Chain A
Amino acid sequence: MSISEQDVEHIAHLARIKIDAKEKNIFQTELSAILSFVEKLNEVNTDEVDPVNGGTLLENIMRPDEQEDVYMEKKSSLLMEAVAEKSGNLIKVKSVFE
């Protein structure tokens, strides 16, 4: 399956990754090659097959809505240390709506 440069631009936008013209060109070639390879799956008849959903066979794992493990308490200051832009204890972001 061959994808175009516009496709690559569109994907990069969806993925929120800035790429330059050279990268666009390289990705077009590489992604097309990988997509051609995976088309091999069309050889398999999957008409009556259910898709796998996740990696576990467990279902409905629940716990009471209470704090059981105190290990994660008092980590908020460590978490805030990693934040790029903050104001006091609040994370600062550029406006979402223009």
Chain B
Amino acid sequence: MNLNELTITQAANGLRKKEFSSVDLTAACLNAIREKDSEIHAFLDVFDEDAIAQAKQADELLTDWNPELPQLLGIPLAIKDNILIEGKRCTAGSRMLEHYTASYDASVIRALKKAGAVFLGKTNMDEFAFGSSTENSAFGVTKNPRDSTRVPGGSSGGSAASVAADMALGALGSDTGGSIRQPASFCGIVGMKPTYGSISRHGLIAMASSLDQIGPMAKTVEDAEIIWDTIAGVDAFDSTSLAKPDPKTQSIKEFKNLRIGLPAEYIGSGLDGDIKEALLNITKKIENSGAILEYINLPHSSYALAAYYIIVPSEISSNLARFDGIRYGMSRDEGNTLMARYTATRGSGFGKEAKRRIMLGTYALSAGYYDAYYLKAQKVRRLITHDFDSLFNSGIDMIIGPTTPTPAFAFGEKINDPLSMYLADIYTVAVNLAGLPALSLPAGTVMRDNTPLPMGLQLIAPRNAERQLFAAAKEIESFCP
């Protein structure tokens, strides 16, 4: 097996047994990038020299083996290009930041550096994380490694593709409405969004501040947990961040004692028939293992997308106001006034979807419309959150369902109809509105045009129940083809 095809767990084991070095591992990944990425285009920047230098440092630390060494020491990872690495370009997939160099490390990067991880490069994404296909990147699309005529999903499409194509052993993505889970589902890997606050947002280019979270993307659930464990925790730079749940005080139920709920609303008419069949096959196996599977209801689930597409553009319009050509980023001087600098910079620097969302948000927050749109959406959000909370409070341990309504779609299929693109996130957005942790794991394939396309199964857990979520996901992973 080639070293770049290993999982993080296997690689960490091999490093400690001195079967190979971090430099060997990193070189194998860089080689895979050289061979495959001109076709796939997962990476916007590759750090050939710096990655080897980091790997050499890791190898030094590995010679003095001790059981306390961090699990990610010497492990090569890909980082989504909306997460700041000091001294490196950070574009957020946008012309606005095409020439911007980060002036500090994101908190997650500091944590990964402390653990001795290796950074292979920055991955492609929908501009400012607005999208579900990576087609909105200003720097070209990324291809799904399982079918090059199809999208990898988005907005963390580059990160998903880098792991699925064995160009990286793991990656970081970000998720505001499904941007980790949906591309993980489309590319056949594991993607997890933690509880809101679990991972610090300091150094993540903001999209919608009340929903954004960074999360791991990896080949196995075990690998994803290792990444989460390394970067989660309270951070003085993010006042919404939470302490990592203590494994000693948090009890984890055995899988066969779990009550798992399947929402009737998630397997209705909008769901592709093949995905539904594959999902129900797995739920049968879950039942056979002894866990209880029950049909549940999420009465307000049909309103999640509408609430999301008011709240998120509103927060976007506020967060993107900082791109004014003054302190950083593109700056267009087309007249003699301050106003002209603003409007010309923002007119040129932002792509279509960015402008669309900023304008939608500006409208929803404007005088006369704030109550009817933004306030109304935040009230419905309360009801959506309550649907989940009352189920978890009544003894349901976890909620299961499909991650996406269809497998990966073809390039160009949805790009001209914003609403149809938004519908790709129908099962994922409610989770962000409620701030819950959720994970997508590969659950098999469905055939389209004689090509097997991956499909993902989503697990949703109560707030701060990450360890229970990972434990359950590992069990279910063993039932999946």
What residues make up the interface of A, taking CB atoms closer than 8 Å to B?
A: 3, 7-8, 11-12, 14-19, 23, 27, 30-31, 33-35, 37-44, 46, 49-58, 61, 63, 68-69, 71-72, 75, 78-79, 81-85, 91, 93-96, 98
Are the CB atoms of B324 and A27 closer together than 8 Å? no
CA distance A42 to B324 in the complex (A): 35
Are the CB atoms of B338 and A95 closer together than 8 Å? yes
12 extra A-B contacts, CB within 8 A, seeds A16-B342, A23-B355, A42-B376: A8-B359, A11-B362, A31-B356, A34-B419, A35-B360, A38-B377, A49-B383, A51-B381, A58-B240, A85-B331, A93-B326, A94-B337
CA distance A79 to B101 in the complex (A): 9
Interface contact tally, CB-CB below 8 A: 169
Is B230 in contact with chain A by the CB < 8 A criterion? no
Min CB–CB distance A73 → chain B (angstroms) = 11
Q: Which of A15, A42, A63, A95 has the most CB of B within 10 A?
A: A15
Interface residue stretch chosen among B13-21, B29-37, B136-144, B302-310: B302-310
Kindly list chain A residues whose C-beta atoms are within 8 Å of the C-beta of B249. Answer: none
CA distance A56 to B361 in the complex (A): 21
Kindly list chain A residues whose C-beta atoms are within 8 Å of the C-beta of B433. Answer: 52
Kindly list chain A residues whose C-beta atoms are within 8 Å of the C-beta of B209. Answer: 54-55
Q: A19-B347, A27-B356, A94-B336 are in contact. Are A41 and B380 (CB under 8 A)?
A: yes
User: Which residue of A is nearest B313, CB measured?
Assistant: A34
Partner of B307, one of A41, A58, A85: A41
Is B445 in contact with chain A by the CB < 8 A criterion? no
Are the CB atoms of A46 and B383 closer together than 8 Å? yes
Partner of A31, one of B326, B342, B360: B360
**Contact residues, B360-414 vs A (CB, 8 A):** 360, 362-363, 366, 373, 375-383, 385
Is B285 in contact with chain A by the CB < 8 A criterion? no
Q: A18-B346, A40-B306, A41-B310 are in contact. Are A3 and B363 (CB under 8 A)?
A: yes
Kindly list chain A residues whose C-beta atoms are within 8 Å of the C-beta of B307. Answer: 41
Kindly list chain A residues whose C-beta atoms are within 8 Å of the C-beta of B419. Answer: 33-34, 37
Bitwise, B341-353 to A at CB < 8 A (1) or not (0) is 1111011101000
CA distance A83 to B242 in the complex (A): 34
Q: A49-B379, A71-B110 are in contact. Are A56 and B236 (CB under 8 A)?
A: no
Bitwise, B304-328 to A at CB < 8 A (1) or not (0) is 0011011000000100010011111
User: Which residue of A is nearest B104, CB measured?
Assistant: A75
Are the CB atoms of A37 and B309 closer together than 8 Å? yes
Are the CB atoms of B310 and A79 closer together than 8 Å? no
Are the CB atoms of B103 and A78 closer together than 8 Å? yes
CA distance A49 to B384 in the complex (A): 11
Are the CB atoms of A30 and B418 closer together than 8 Å? yes
What residues make up the interface of B, taking CB atoms closer than 8 Å to A?
A: 86, 100-101, 103-105, 110, 196-197, 209-211, 236-237, 239-240, 242, 300, 302-303, 306-307, 309-310, 317, 321, 324-329, 331, 336-339, 341-344, 346-348, 350, 355-356, 358-360, 362-363, 366, 373, 375-383, 385, 418-419, 433, 435, 463
Are the CB atoms of A83 and B355 closer together than 8 Å? no
CA distance A94 to B331 in the complex (A): 13
Are the CB atoms of A50 and B342 closer together than 8 Å? no
Q: Which of A33, A37, A55, A98 has the most CB of B within 10 A?
A: A55
CA distance A44 to B299 in the complex (A): 11
User: Which residue of A is nearest B343, CB measured?
Assistant: A18
Are the CB atoms of B331 and A51 closer together than 8 Å? no
CA distance A42 to B375 in the complex (A): 12
Are the CB atoms of B103 and A75 closer together than 8 Å? yes
CA distance A84 to B105 in the complex (A): 22
Are the CB atoms of A51 and B326 closer together than 8 Å? no
Kindly list chain A residues whose C-beta atoms are within 8 Å of the C-beta of B383. Answer: 44, 46, 49
Closest 10 CB pairs of A and B: A18-B347, A55-B210, A84-B331, A51-B378, A78-B103, A46-B379, A82-B328, A18-B343, A16-B342, A61-B239
Min CB–CB distance B362 → chain A (angstroms) = 4
Min CB–CB distance B73 → chain A (angstroms) = 21
Kindly list chain A residues whose C-beta atoms are within 8 Å of the C-beta of B358. Answer: 15, 17
User: Which residue of B is nearest A97, CB measured?
Assistant: B338
Kindly list chain B residues whose C-beta atoms are within 8 Å of the C-beta of A33. Answer: 418-419
Partner of A14, one of B196, B362, B381: B362
User: Which residue of B is nearest A3, CB measured?
Assistant: B363
Are the CB atoms of B309 and A34 closer together than 8 Å? yes
Kindly list chain B residues whose C-beta atoms are within 8 Å of the C-beta of A93. Answer: 326, 338
Kindly list chain B residues whose C-beta atoms are within 8 Å of the C-beta of A98. Answer: 337
Are the CB atoms of B303 and A19 closer together than 8 Å? no
CA distance A56 to B234 in the complex (A): 13
